[in-house]
Structure 1
Amino acid sequence: MTVWYRLLIRLLTPLVFIYLWLRGAKAPAYRKRWSERLALHDFPPQARDGIVIHCVSVGETVAARGLIESVLRTYPHLSVTLTSMTPTAAEMALKLFGDRVFHSYLPIDTPAAMQRFVSKLSPRLLIVLETEIWPCLLEQCQLRNIPVLVVNARMSERSAKGYQKYAWLLGPIWQSVDFIAAQTKGSAERFASLQVPANKLAVRGNLKHDFQVSDDLRQQSQSWRDELNRPVLVAASTHEGEDVQILEAFSLVLEPHPTALLIIVPRHPERFDAVARLIEQKQFNFVRRSAEQAIQAAHQVFLADSMGELLLWYAVADAAFVGGSLIERGGHNPLEPIATQTPVISGPHVFNFDEIYQRLKAVNGVQIVTDARTLAAVWNEWLRDPKKTAEYAKRAFDEFANDQGATEAILKDIKRFLPLTHGTENVRTMSMIKTTKPNNNTEIWYDPSVLEGCTTKHFEANFWRSQNKIKGSATGRSTAFFIDVGEHGLLLRHYYRGGLVGKFNKDRFKREPISSSRAMAEFSLLLKLRELKLPVPRPVAARFVKAPIWGYRADILVEVIPGAQDLFKLLLQRPLVASEWQQVGNTIRELHCAGVYHSDLNCHNIMLDDSSKCWIVDFDKCGFRAEGEWREANLRRLLRSFNKELTKAKETNQAFHFDETRDWPLLVEAYS
């Protein structure tokens, strides 16, 4: 991403909101949920640490339905958030998946908005349908080591030339994607021409080939056909400039076929009323789907002003015209009418799906028309000769019958980037965490498998002291309390400021989104690390409290590691044996190999238990990072902490059993 892009996207942002407002005159939903356009809204905590799937509009959402269902089945312990750009796609997501997914608009691609979006959701994986990739979004994912997969990807010649032309503005975005699953060989070749490495690119087919027409839909469509008992034509996904031609063509159909019915389906809901007025002007007797009235014999046109029913109208019709093709829009995907075995007619402008249409032309599985007259001629011919019409439908269906398997192949790709954790029955993730808000200033997250309920009292030492359950404390920058509440017990820690700031501001932190606040961020990170089988404490509960006037305070409860002591205390007592130093090196390497950055790796935050197993604690301000020099910096910081404590011990004539020449090489050798 370039400086020019950052500047341009900021300058364009006000224009985006002007566009949303103007479009909202016809579609009021565009004037709603504006906070999401800048990622200023709050996500529920349960949406964090999951999978984000971006489907820009309705078409991508429908195409991804099977894949999304597979992801929900494969990762039942993770949340799935669907993002889109249009209200119709938001409605479709709700209709198809209900409360099984979270939904949000994808923010405008400014650096600040995308930083907020990715920070609030902290996803493990981003899956983008087709080609809807944004430079700032990609940059934020790279900074956090979040894999980005572009699936069902298609790249037309026109789009490829556009990306090449504006590479100076966008930067190397396609080379930065972790994996691209292209629909076709031609698309893959065009991605390769954009310098996508071969090991990041594969042909997986089109998800729409995996679409199966359900028995319920077949029965529903047959019921419609039996009730109508008349010739039915559908013009689907039509755009401005096409409706006039389609109605003109249909008027020529009514002469030889007076009982025919036209189902017209505008592409965008905000055009429903305009198309209705046009039908009235052309003096057709019509009924709207939204009127919920039965279609009578006198009705000539049925305006399908609803969402999510296009497949039904294809299945009901004797022939389908696929819109966006009589004008230079580039056409729409014909695979849905092919799946319902409805013969396809298209205009000449199909560059968005050129490869599919080339295959259809090669087997004589589509009719290409250029205007109202030629469209009427084909409709009339097909209505006169149902056998010939059926042959078109069969040739098209047979051509793509063996192209299934994209969903399964892409799911395998997803598993490579997000491996399934063994023993998921014991895994705890943010989707399983409960939240409570005791008052307007406080929010608590807790694990219901450990605590049946959690209140503000659980974070107050006096509450536990009154029950005689405090069994000890640990001192450092502040005091942490050991609480006897079960087999392992809990550690209660309040967050304090350090350094010079801490001398005049003891425990207030700058206000930030709750999900990004100190305790909550550490809580969710620990859940993820334990899922990866890393040796870290089990998080139990976390609290965010808005402080008066400015800032917030925070607390966390974690499970105590039985029989563990930190290296500082152990080295005050005795030297560590070689195997113990090697255990420490191995554990740090395990952490780093998982991409985990520890902001304060020192001898106080590394522990050994009774069996000499090594544990890492205190993950405040930590997180995942891409490979880099931070790993070596972590080790250097740890070495400094040993030498610092050694120097302090010498100054006070205490024993601190650390020898850099003897002990440190053992740790480094195991790490390496």
Structure 2
Amino acid sequence: MPRFLYTLLLWLLVPLIPLRLLWRSLRQPEYLHHVGERFGFFDGVADKPVIWLHCVSVGETHAAAPLVDLLRQRYPGHKVLLTHATPTGRKAGEQLFGDSVLRAYLPYDLPFAVNRFLGHFRPRIGLLMETELWFNLIHACKAGKMPLLLVNARMSARSARGYARVSALVEDSLTQLAAIAAQTAADARRLCELGAPQAVVTGNLKFDVLPAKATAATLQRLCGVPRTIFLAASTREGEEALVLDAVQQAGIPGLLTIIVPRHPQRFDEVAVLLQTCGVRYRRRSENSVAGADDAVLLGDSMGEMAAYYAVCDFAFIGGSLLPYGGQNLIEACALGKPVLLGPHTYNFDEAASTAIMQGAAVRVWDAAALAAEIKELAHDAALRERMGAAGLAFAAGNRGAARRTLALVEKFI
């Protein structure tokens, strides 16, 4: 009955789907591409048995990269299929793997669309990255006797409270999964409290994502004359104004601030904010060198976050100063960069707490505290070196999740 009511609600929402896609396409025209795939209509077929991974957007796609590489090495006779929910996730898959993997959108969780998807690709196994519970999809995989695993699974206390409101539906789905690989013991415990019969702890795949091999020479050139560089990475709506306020309060002569919004559809919005505030800036897309009087470089590019980290002296991780849950801090630590975090890091709760405890990161509570830390790090090279070394040790000490996850997957292929 709970799944019936859930499906009925989805059907009632179907007439709104074209309007939603059209609305989102105003900022990202790519939302109007491959629309048929969202309803289970696909072109082409795989010429090999398929291993399927669902990676909602950019973060999950990058996190899956080490596992995808191991799967391709271990099963050369299979084809990897990546499914996404967003155009940016699909683009990230293309940048990482080119044509070596199949790409598609995962259909909406309507029974007919899900069955068309499974019937078209006929995957031998499915892996859902992080916290992706699609109730009709899980049911269809179980009915079709296709093992479906939840890997790199995370379940924050906040998410657990939300799922508990539909506990019967969630418990039914969790029991139908072939296995669950959780990032931490706390994630595993919360999943079991929601009804999972068992969850093993394999670690966080993001620790296995090695820094990009490509150099940051181009970005270094665009930053102009050598000076202290502060990076505000993966910022969310409302945070850029707070960052600019903190930079102004810090008052560091010659400081270059790089702001990289989390979502590409906000690049122009942030440019307008900079203009309104009277801040001199350059856009990365202009490919022109920042002048000595340019205070901000707007990172309006995709797939270059590792390069932005490489050129900065220290970084603030966005999504954490306002209640968005925080973005990935691991990449900055893996490149030996001191990290500043806001109070809202529930998406990376254990990683954030451990990084702070080990001296790789510092928590700030508001723009004023961020300003104070910017000032201290800008003037203290020895502190930057200590925090960077702690970040490298923190990242290195938590690797191995990809191989542990592969060992679990091997039991079902």
Smaller-chain TM-score bracket: over 0.9
Q: What residue is the counterpart of 1:67 in the other structure?
A: 67
CA contact (8 A) 1:325 1:332 kept: yes
Q: What residue is the counterpart of 1:196 in the other structure?
A: 196
Does residue 126 (structure 1) correspond to residue 119 (structure 2)? The answer is: no
Does residue 288 (structure 1) correspond to residue 283 (structure 2)? The answer is: yes
Q: What residue is the counterpart of 2:232 in the other structure?
A: 235
Q: What residue is the counterpart of 1:28 in the other structure?
A: 29
Does residue 388 (structure 1) correspond to residue 383 (structure 2)? The answer is: yes
Given residue 118 of structure 1, which amino acid in structure 2 is its aligned partner?
L
Q: How does 1:66-465 map to 2 (within 5 A)?
A: 66-170=66-170, 172-198=172-198, 201-217=199-215, 220=217, 224=221, 228-253=225-250, 255=251, 257-418=252-413
Query: Secondary structure of 2:49's partner?
Result: coil
Rounded to whole Å, the distance in 2 between the matches of 1:397 and 1:128 is: 29
Partner deviation per Cα, 1:13-67 (whole Å, 9 max, x = no partner): 333332221121111111222111111233x122663111110000010111111
Given residue 235 of structure 1, which amino acid in structure 2 is its aligned partner?
A
1:203 CA displacement: 0.7
Query: Secondary structure of 1:83's partner?
Result: strand
Given residue 33 of structure 1, which amino acid in structure 2 is its aligned partner?
H
CA contact (8 A) 1:2 1:170 kept: no
Q: What residue is the counterpart of 1:568 in the other structure?
A: none
Higher relative contact order (CA closer than 8 Å, sequence separation 6+): 2
Given residue 11 of structure 1, which amino acid in structure 2 is its aligned partner?
L
Rounded to whole Å, the distance in 1 between the matches of 2:185 and 2:404 is: 15
1:293 CA displacement: 1.8
Q: 1:172 to 1:224 in 2, by over 3 A?
A: farther
CA RMSD of aligned residues (A): 1.9
Partner deviation per Cα, 1:340-372 (whole Å, 9 max, x = no partner): 111110110111111112212323332222222
Greater fraction helix: 2
Rounded to whole Å, the distance in 2 between the matches of 1:235 and 1:222 is: 15
TM-score (norm 1): 0.59
CA contact (8 A) 1:152 1:182 kept: yes
Given residue 417 of structure 1, which amino acid in structure 2 is its aligned partner?
F
Partner deviation per Cα, 1:304-339 (whole Å, 9 max, x = no partner): 111111111111111110011111111112101000
CA contact (8 A) 2:84 2:90 kept: yes
- Count of residue pairs the alignment pairs up: 412
CA contact (8 A) 2:281 2:294 kept: yes
Rounded to whole Å, the distance in 1 between the matches of 2:180 and 2:66 is: 18
Q: What residue is the counterpart of 1:13 in the other structure?
A: 14
Rounded to whole Å, the distance in 2 between the matches of 1:185 and 1:228 is: 47
Rounded to whole Å, the distance in 1 between the matches of 2:206 and 2:171 is: 31
CA contact (8 A) 1:48 1:122 kept: no
Rounded to whole Å, the distance in 2 between the matches of 1:136 and 1:220 is: 48
TM-score (norm 2): 0.95
Rounded to whole Å, the distance in 2 between the matches of 1:226 and 1:143 is: 56
Q: How does 1:574-589 map to 2 (within 5 A)?
A: none
Q: 1:215 to 1:23 in 2, by over 3 A?
A: closer
Rounded to whole Å, the distance in 1 between the matches of 2:178 and 2:57 is: 23
CA contact (8 A) 1:224 1:316 kept: no
Given residue 81 of structure 2, which amino acid in structure 1 is its aligned partner?
T
Q: What residue is the counterpart of 2:55 in the other structure?
A: 55
CA contact (8 A) 2:70 2:406 kept: yes
CA contact (8 A) 1:48 1:120 kept: no
Given residue 36 of structure 1, which amino acid in structure 2 is its aligned partner?
E
Q: 1:85 to 1:311 in 2, by over 3 A?
A: same
Given residue 273 of structure 2, which amino acid in structure 1 is its aligned partner?
L
Rounded to whole Å, the distance in 2 between the matches of 1:386 and 1:17 is: 53
Rounded to whole Å, the distance in 2 between the matches of 1:352 and 1:81 is: 26
CA contact (8 A) 2:333 2:388 kept: yes
CA contact (8 A) 1:47 1:80 kept: no
Rounded to whole Å, the distance in 2 between the matches of 1:137 and 1:350 is: 30
Rounded to whole Å, the distance in 2 between the matches of 1:26 and 1:153 is: 30
CA contact (8 A) 2:223 2:290 kept: no
Partner deviation per Cα, 1:110-152 (whole Å, 9 max, x = no partner): 1111011111111101011111121111111112111111111
Given residue 212 of structure 1, which amino acid in structure 2 is its aligned partner?
L
Partner deviation per Cα, 1:448-488 (whole Å, 9 max, x = no partner): xxxxxxxxxxxxxxxxxxxxxxxxxxxxxxxxxxxxxxxxx
Partner deviation per Cα, 1:555-577 (whole Å, 9 max, x = no partner): xxxxxxxxxxxxxxxxxxxxxxx
Partner deviation per Cα, 1:78-104 (whole Å, 9 max, x = no partner): 111110011011111111101001111
Q: What residue is the counterpart of 1:662 in the other structure?
A: none
Given residue 83 of structure 2, which amino acid in structure 1 is its aligned partner?
T
Query: Secondary structure of 1:52's partner?
Result: strand
Bigger radius of gyration among the two: 1
Rounded to whole Å, the distance in 1 between the matches of 2:47 and 2:56 is: 19
Partner deviation per Cα, 1:179-205 (whole Å, 9 max, x = no partner): 11111111111111122223xx21111
CA contact (8 A) 2:39 2:108 kept: yes
Rounded to whole Å, the distance in 1 between the matches of 2:220 and 2:265 is: 30
